[in-house]
Structure 1
Amino acid sequence: MAEGSDEIQALIAQMARLPGLGPRSARRIVLSLIRRRTGQMAQLAAQMARVAETSRECSRCGNIGEAAICPICADPARANGELCVVADVADLWALERGRAFRGRYHVLGGTLSALDEIGPDELGIPRLVSRIAEEGVTEVILALNATVEGQTTAHYIAEALEPAQVTVTGLAQGVPIGGELDYLDDGTIVAALRARRRL
């Protein structure tokens, strides 16, 4: 039975590679967009093209926005000595939704993984250590996922920061073992951030 042209199948395959989507979900989305191709699909394609053209990583923290320095790093009120380290931009955005943290961030871009050959240099951990000295950071909050990789990364960073004599804390209550920040509700994130502890 025919299931659309090669171009439609290629679009479904591309959509299925997105996080959280499988072949069935991708097929439903593509069919829905095709039915609304003159409105919704055209607008989505135009918006995606604009984002592809204008989005960039903040050169200081790794957040994604439209400027070389993101609004968080550019805000002098957020230079309060607190630096929150997260694995991914989605985690940064999740913490910002809770509005409990008023310092600055550092996005690693992942966690340590020997299997995937992701080491300290790939995560920019030496750059993190440099930032702490340059920006007068007094507390580093390790807001990493409560997974084996996240906790391994947190312990590695805590050891790397020992010579800097900076307070290193981690999220406490509210983040379940195996949990990921982007999937937690705002109240849980706020409680976890407020109950952080020294590592």
Structure 2
Amino acid sequence: MPKAVAGPEIERLIQLLARMPGLGPRSARRAALQLIKKRETMLAPLAEAMRVACERIMVCSTCGNVDTTEPCTICRDPTRDPSTLVVVEDVSDLWALERSGAVTARYHVLGGVLSALDGVRPEDLNLDSLVSRAADPAMREIILALNATVDGQTTAHYVTESLKGHGLKVTRLAHGVPVGGELDYLDEGTLTAAIRSRTPF
């Protein structure tokens, strides 16, 4: 076992940082060292922000977004289109769509995707409340904004089957060549999806 190079408090900080997505042990050590070096301008404000976040941030019981209000800001926004619901895998996907400015609808966060390999079953996801929301008479369209992975597509099919009988239009995001993309740099799956989803010019 590697020998500890710092006190237990610093090692604890490194271990916690290493649990973050995209941060391995080496990156966590560098991040911890940077925080310690800039204690007043980085470490103390970060600790305070995390304390406040821990106390005030909650999961919206309506859509599954994270916010400091219940229901969340998006669910309370009167300018949102109440007839359209965008279904996403995680809050990070919701944030990505919001950054794009392309969505004026409301959202529904599933909290993951179905995965036989990882043991994620329908009851592990936020599916029952989605079906309940779909029963709203004002609802007209469900947009499945799920990742183009095997598990994402499996989940999309399951959701579509679950919503049958509600008389809703169920659509999904287009897949294919990204804006500014060059064909030579695209993988075969993306090219195949682009050909199959071709539109009139």
**Shorter-normalised TM-score: what interval?**
0.7 to 0.9
- CA RMSD across the alignment: 1.9
- Partner deviation per Cα, 1:95-146 (whole Å, 9 max, x = no partner): 0001111010000000011233221121121210111113621100000011
- Label 1:150 to 1:175 Cα distance change in 2 as closer, same or farther (>3 A): farther
TM-superposed CA distance for 1:3, in Å, is 1.5
Question: Which residue in 2 is equivalent to 1:161?
Answer: 163
Q: Which amino acid aligns with 1:81?
A: S
Question: Which residue in 2 is equivalent to 1:114?
Answer: 116
Measure the CA separation in 1 of the matches of 2:26 and 2:82: 47
Normalising to structure 1: TM-score of the pair? 0.84
Question: Which residue in 1 is equivalent to 2:140?
Answer: 138
Q: Identical aligned pairs, as a percentage?
A: 53
- Label 1:113 to 1:130 Cα distance change in 2 as closer, same or farther (>3 A): same
The structure, 1 or 2, with the larger RCO (C-alpha pairs under 8 Å, 6+ apart) is: 1
Question: Which residue in 1 is equivalent to 2:32?
Answer: 30
Instruction: Give unpaired runs (5+ residues) of structure 1.
Output: 177-194
Measure the CA separation in 1 of the matches of 2:95 and 2:177: 16
Question: Which residue in 1 is equivalent to 2:46?
Answer: 44
Instruction: Give the secondary structure class of the aligned counterpart of 1:31.
Output: helix
Q: Which amino acid aligns with 2:132?
A: S
Of 133-142 and 100-109, deviating more is 133-142
- Out of 174, 177, 187, the position equivalent to 1:172 is 174
- Out of 86, 89, 104, the position equivalent to 1:87 is 89
Instruction: Give the secondary structure class of the aligned counterpart of 1:67.
Output: coil
- Out of 74, 77, 100, the position equivalent to 1:75 is 77
- Out of 12, 15, 21, the position equivalent to 2:17 is 15
Structure 1 contact 146–175 (Cα < 8 Å) conserved = no
Question: Which residue in 1 is equivalent to 2:6?
Answer: 4
Instruction: Give the secondary structure class of the aligned counterpart of 1:101.
Output: coil
TM-superposed CA distance for 1:175, in Å, is 7.6
Measure the CA separation in 2 of the matches of 1:42 and 1:95: 32
Structure 1 stretches (4+) deviating beyond 3 angstroms? Answer: 173-176
- Label 1:66 to 1:23 Cα distance change in 2 as closer, same or farther (>3 A): same
Structure 2 contact 4–11 (Cα < 8 Å) conserved = no
- Label 1:96 to 1:33 Cα distance change in 2 as closer, same or farther (>3 A): same
Instruction: Give the secondary structure class of the aligned counterpart of 2:171.
Output: strand
Normalising to structure 2: TM-score of the pair? 0.83
- Label 1:2 to 1:164 Cα distance change in 2 as closer, same or farther (>3 A): closer
- Partner deviation per Cα, 1:38-91 (whole Å, 9 max, x = no partner): 331011101100011100111110111100111111112213311000000000
Structure 1 contact 60–69 (Cα < 8 Å) conserved = yes
Structure 2 contact 142–170 (Cα < 8 Å) conserved = yes
Point out the structure with max Rg over C-alpha. 2
- Label 1:73 to 1:2 Cα distance change in 2 as closer, same or farther (>3 A): closer
